């Protein structure tokens, strides 16, 4: 006779109320959590798979899509818990919104829209070349980020909660407006050390942007085969990637460097403040990533620091 | 708002005495001794301020212009509360660093950046309003912590801490807002703490506008904290009654 397949039964309970939300019978043992999410979605169309957190314990970690039902520590009647993560936005959409905002907001100030500096200065342009240069650099930075989001980055998690995007947009867009206001202001004062200061800043800016791009490409190549497994990034033939000898997250190092150079170029306190906050945020992210690498790989290069060579 | 956290419900816990379900290590013996000393000193300090106010009122016969009699101890002990941020940072107190920092900084802001900096408002009655609110609140709060650390918390103190805020908190907030509002014209006149363009830092700051924004921020923050405290009150005081019933 043919082999018997033992079907599973899956009940899904609300993580807080423990109320049974869904009962699935005749589930294939090799079904994945992704399949279960799709089945649950059929019963509750408002809860699309990306906003479902399915876990074994009410307060446990969310199970990944790839997990297979029969490999989980459950009996043939599996009890899973559901938590609504709220509306979710795909990473690509997140980054496009977060980056397009500052790009366009800066232009409102650069072109001196009437509502920004008053009618007397509307649509005038600055006599200082550095102001034009700053606009080019700022725009280049965000256009590069948009291009990377569309063509280079490969995201591991699919989505981000809507509330986070709104918070992030306020922060990034708000800061872009604040620093653009001062740089493009009719009473803007060019850097104290003149052209020398500006030239050094531009060179440093270009180096950091090139470096940041190189790192993003190198990280993306690690996942060229479409896998979601984490791998140790290593320096390549590209000299900009040689920073990998010294830090785990050279993309953050270069990013902070780019903003430092922009601060020097514009000699503007709000830019400096934004740079400082970026530095703090990226240090937190870099440390996180660094310690994840260290925990996951026994042979992780010991010379590497999270974000600043030898220091931090 | 600066009076808010002082009744403690702005913090996630409800005092040292209660047991947390999480596996958090309590302060060690040395830290406990230090905290007891700290809280006793602070209780004494605010009692000094209270006594100072009462004596000044009896001597002068009116409640106007009492600020000068307690100016120094007020500044000393209110600024000393900055240590509480370190207590959270070092983990000897189970409260959120961010929340504590926010509460203490708002008090310190009012003490130094408004009342001290704008001499003209020091005669305002609104100053007395928030100083009285702070004084009563802090005396109760610090004695609450002292007794909790010694595991001998009289119900009266617990009740006072979780009940008097109902009046003291709005009283303090009113005093604070009225004081800031009174300071505005003098800030505008003197251009206090303000910098304008052009300058080589390409930065501008208008303290007058900043103060107005601070006042506006009370609108969302005050109700949130107040209702949180009411919620805490229900939790803490009803828990005690159930405990009593079961005895």
* pLDDT tens, per residue, chain A with 312 residues: 445 678 889 899 999 999 999 898 888 888 889 999 999 999 999 999 888 999 999 888 888 888 888 888 888 888 999 999 888 888 888 888 899 999 999 999 999 998 989 888 888 888 899 999 999 999 999 999 999 988 887 776 678 888 888 999 999 999 999 999 999 999 999 999 999 999 999 999 999 999 999 999 998 888 776 666 778 888 999 999 999 999 999 999 999 999 999 999 999 999 999 999 999 999 999 999 999 999 988 889 888 999 999 998
Distance from CA of A134 to the nearest CA of B (A): 14
The dihedral sign for the CA sequence A272, A278, A279, A280 = positive
By CB neighbour count within 10 A (0-12 exposed, 13-18 middle, 19+ buried), where does B213 fall?
A: exposed
Active site residue B176: yes
CB pair distance less than 8 Å for A269 and B197: no
Q: What is Dmax (Cα atoms) for chain A?
A: 91
Which helix (H) or strand (E) is A259 found in, with range?
A: helix A250-266
Q: Measured on CA atoms in the order B219, B225, B227, B229, is the torsion positive or negative?
A: negative
B181 assigned to active site: no
Answer left, alpha or beta for residue B95, where phi above 0 means left and psi between -120 and 50 means alpha.
Answer: beta
Contact A95, A172 (CB under 8 A): no
Cβ pair B200:A189 closer than 8 A: yes
**Minimum Cα–Cα distance from B197: chain A residue:** A187
CA distance B122 to B68: 8
Q: List the single best residue of B98, B202, B204, B205 to mutate versus A (max A Cβ within 10 A).
A: B202
Residues in A touching B200 (Cβ below 8 Å) = 189, 192, 267
Residue of chain B whose alpha carbon sits nearest to that of A267: B201
Global ipTM: 0.73
| CA proximity to A274, closest of A263, A265, A283 | A263
Specify the pTM. Answer: 0.76
Q: Which of B197, B200, B201 sits opposite A185 (nearest CB)?
A: B197
Interchain CB contact of A265 with B (< 8 Å) = no
* Closest chain B residue to A191, measured at CA: B200
Cβ contact A269–B203 (<8 Å): yes
Q: Could you tell me which of A200, A210, A202, A219 has the C-alpha nearest to residue A240?
A: A210
């Amino acid at each position: 006779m043919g082999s018997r397949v033992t079907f599973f039964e899956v009940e899904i309970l609300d993580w807080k109320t423990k109320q049974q939300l869904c009962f699935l019978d005749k589930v294939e043992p090799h079904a994945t959590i992704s399949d279960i999410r799709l089945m649950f979605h059929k019963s509750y169309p408002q809860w699309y798979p990306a906003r479902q957190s399915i876990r074994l314990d009410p307060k446990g970690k969310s199970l990944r899509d790839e997990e297979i039902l029969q490999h989980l520590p459950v009996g043939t009647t599996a009890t899973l818990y559901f938590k609504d993560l709220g509306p979710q936005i795909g990473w690509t959409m997140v980054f496009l919104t977060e980056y397009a905002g500052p790009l366009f907001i800066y232009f409102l100030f650069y072109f001196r829209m009437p509502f920004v500096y008053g009618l007397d200065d509307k649509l005038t342009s600055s006599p200082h070349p550095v102001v034009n240069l700053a606009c080019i650099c700022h725009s280049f930075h965000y256009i590069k980020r948009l291009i990377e989001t569309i063509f280079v980055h490969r995201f591991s998690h699919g989505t981000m909660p809507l509330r986070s995007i709104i918070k992030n947009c306020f922060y990034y867009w708000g800061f872009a407006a604040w620093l653009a206001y001062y740089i493009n202001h009719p009473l803007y004062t060019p850097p104290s050390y003149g052209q020398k200061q500006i030239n050094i800043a531009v060179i440093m800016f270009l180096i950091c942007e090139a470096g940041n791009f190189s790192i993003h490409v190198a990280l993306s190549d690690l996942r060229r085969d479409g896998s979601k497994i984490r791998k140790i990034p290593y320096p390549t033939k590209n000299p900009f990637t040689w920073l990998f000898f010294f830090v785990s997250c050279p993309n953050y190092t270069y990013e902070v460097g780019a903003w430092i150079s922009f601060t020097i170029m514009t000699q503007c306190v709000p830019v400096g403040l934004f740079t400082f906050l970026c530095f703090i945020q990226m240090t937190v992210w870099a440390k996180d990533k660094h310690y994840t690498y260290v925990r996951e790989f026994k042979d992780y290069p010991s010379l590497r620091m999270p974000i600043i060579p030898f220091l931090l | 708002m600066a009076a808010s956290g002082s009744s403690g419900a702005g913090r996630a816990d409800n005092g040292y005495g209660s047991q947390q379900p999480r596996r958090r290590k309590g302060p060690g013996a040395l830290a406990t001794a230090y905290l007891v000393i700290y809280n006793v000193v602070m209780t004494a300090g605010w009692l000094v301020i209270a006594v100072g106010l009462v004596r000044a009122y009896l001597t002068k016969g009116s409640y106007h212009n009492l600020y000068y009699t307690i100016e120094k101890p007020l500044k000393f002990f209110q600024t000393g509360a900055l240590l509480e941020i370190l207590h959270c940072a070092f983990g000897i107190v189970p409260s959120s660093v961010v929340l504590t920092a926010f509460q203490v900084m708002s008090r310190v802001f009012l003490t130094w950046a408004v009342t001290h900096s704008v001499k003209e408002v020091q005669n305002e009655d609104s100053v007395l309003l928030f100083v009285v609110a702070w004084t009563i609140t802090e005396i109760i709060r610090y004695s609450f912590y002292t007794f909790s650390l010694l595991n001998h918390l009289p119900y009266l103190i617990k009740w006072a801490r979780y009940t008097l805020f109902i009046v003291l908190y709005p009283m303090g907030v009113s005093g604070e807002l009225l004081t800031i509002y009174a300071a505005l014209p003098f800030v505008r006149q003197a251009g206090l703490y303000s910098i304008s363009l052009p300058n080589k830092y390409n930065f501008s700051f208008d303290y007058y506008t900043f103060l107005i924004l601070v006042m506006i921020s009370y609108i969302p923050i005050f109700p949130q904290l107040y209702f949180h405290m009411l919620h805490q009150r229900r939790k803490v005081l009803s828990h005690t009654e159930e405990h009593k019933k079961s005895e």
